[in-house]
Amino acid sequence: PSFARRDPIDLVAIVGSKVSAVIKRLQAIFDRKDQLLDIPHDHRLALQRIGDRLEWILDNIENGSSWTRSQQQNIDWFCKEFGKVKFSGLGQNFERVVKALVELERFGYLDWIVV
């Protein structure tokens, strides 16, 4: 569902659900500590920024109705783009998945969130 024409309570539920799903998938990356140590430091920092910003969204979700439409759309777009990243065979495809997430982070969808 999109944010358009939603009541604020629906908005909070939708955002919370989408962001929680993304965090769960991101956790699969962080759970692979040995492989995580083999990726470039700036990639680890980008993944950490993603995680921190997603956690901030969940921590501040009760204020979601005060976020601008653009901010809401950016969260929605980020979650949709994250969902397009193929996590199957994560062990063998770890570097490819990380690279895709780092590129997504560079699009700046969540840059309005300062943590």
**Cα 89–Cα 93–Cα 98 angle in degrees, nearest 5:** 120
Q: pLDDT by residue (tens digit) across 8-39?
A: 667 778 889 999 999 999 999 999 999 999 99
Q: Are 113 and 53 in contact (CB under 8 A)?
A: yes
* Range in 56-60, 63-67, 72-76, 82-86 the model is least confident about: 63-67
Confidence of residue 50 (pLDDT cuts 50, 70, 90): very high
Distance spanning both ends of the chain, measured CA to CA: 27
pTM of the entire structure? Answer: 0.87
The per-residue pLDDT for 69 is: 86
d(CA 28, CA 25): 5
Identify the band that residue 62 occupies on the pLDDT scale cut at 50, 70 and 90: confident
Nearest to 82 by CA among 4, 27, 9: 27
Cα separations (Å) of 35 from 1, 49, 52, 62, 111? 35, 18, 20, 36, 26
Provide, rounded to the nearest whole percent, the portion of the chain with pLDDT above 70: 92
